[in-house]
Copies of this chain bind each other. A is one copy, B any other.
């Protein structure tokens, strides 16, 4: 009967499914998997690995030998010709795996595999992005999308029918590299970014200046579906597999991060104003050295971050007038502060502001009048995100299941340091993320790397998380 239903609703699946009729799972629905076998349902590591690297083919010399892949990286700027090729591949592949695809007005592509109950029921999605940094790695975003495709293949191979529809979504311009608004596609979908605003963003990378709208039209991905959770393609739940982009899992020798949220962060520009003077003729005690004060500030801010369990980073710093033998009169620097909670971040910012005040009143007397003064201007703010507890539990149970014996020491709950498309989906549906280790914590770099088995472990957790959520939604009546 299951086979008949499958034939009726998804005739294109039958051919491929038949090839795998000897699998131990047979023709099963999600709820049946929970009676036994779910623990052993895993992805095919080699196939996933091949998919990851074959999607890089349009941006690498085709002859890249396997041993050079570790340094080949990826350069697939959003809405570029290379991105069009990756999108075309995504559409063809998901269609061939039995999905219906939809492109919305910001170019997000939703591929939906029917479930036993469809109608108006939003699908449980796996999502991430195929675009990269100008000189990026092969895993950031790509892993999440290819793991979604691997999920479709495993479901087909095993003749698994989910209770509700499941899907894979490729979000437009997550990186914000070519068009400097990150998480653009999911941001528009969530209502956080107005569509017109996104359309009019201009390119900042080398080449002719274009708008998002012009390039969407040029590559044929200006869809007709409204780019909105409301009236466009709704999402029932969203899971995202991603590389950690940090060293925590590697250092603790763990395999899976159960991501429970994204930390809050703020960006500031600080200006230190002292007084230019001759390096050879001005005694230390008579200096108003903007750079020396900035150096002191950097160490103090690090201490504040350490004490409050947050992060603080100075990534940009310019010195003026900039001469070997002139004491700097002005320093401008960026400050990136982060904390898992909004309250924690506020406390950090308050302490940093007090520190700036302290210089105005204390360093001036120490360095001779007038001492360097510090001003602090907020450029950007992003609140803390807490993912959905049920979705997190789906990930946690799946990780325990995939990792098997000793799983407790191989996984941890963690907070993402970076933003992801899941931040936007979390505004409208249960969302959680899965992290796998990043070699040396490196990302946004050609040397970004995760091992084949690590990718496969993450993808298996993703696959099982979707099925657990499918069961949960069935149980609570989402598909009735």
> Which residues of A come within 8 Å of B, CB atoms?
244-248, 251, 263, 265, 267, 275-284, 286, 289, 291-292, 294-296, 298-299, 302, 305-306, 311, 313-317, 319, 322-328, 334, 336, 338, 368, 416-419, 440-445
Contact = CB atoms under 8 A, between A and B. Distances in A.
Given A281-B441, A286-B246, A315 B305 contact: no
A302 B296 CA distance: 11
A247 to B, nearest CB: 4
A317 B319 contact: yes
A244 B444 CA distance: 51
Given A280-B416, A281-B441, A282-B441, 6 more contacts: A248-B283, A263-B280, A278-B417, A278-B418, A291-B314, A326-B444
A265 B283 contact: no
7 contacts: A247-B282, A247-B286, A276-B442, A279-B417, A281-B416, A294-B295, A296-B299
A442 B315 CA distance: 31
A206 to B, nearest CB: 16
Select the residue from A292, A325, A327, A440 with max chain B CB neighbours within 10 A.
A325
B279 A338 contact: yes
B311 A315 contact: no
Nearest to A322: B316
A74 B314 CA distance: 38
Contacts of A246: 277-278, 280-283, 286
B316 A441 contact: no
A291 B295 CA distance: 9
Contacts of A416: 280-281
Contacts of A251: 286, 368
Which of A246, A292, A313, A368: most chain B Cβ within 10 A?
A: A313
Contact of A316 (B294, B319, B418, B419): B319
A277 to B, nearest CB: 6
Contacts of A444: 278, 326
A348 to B, nearest CB: 13
A444 to B, nearest CB: 7
A209 to B, nearest CB: 21
Given A284-B306, A299-B292, A442 B277 contact: yes
Given A278-B417, A283-B246, A298-B295, A322 B315 contact: yes
Of A282, A316, A317, the most chain B CB neighbours within 10 A belong to A282
A315 B325 contact: yes
A155 B182 CA distance: 77
Q: Which of A294, A311, A324 has the most chain B CB atoms inside 10 A of its CB?
A: A324
Contact of A291 (B317, B326, B368, B445): B317
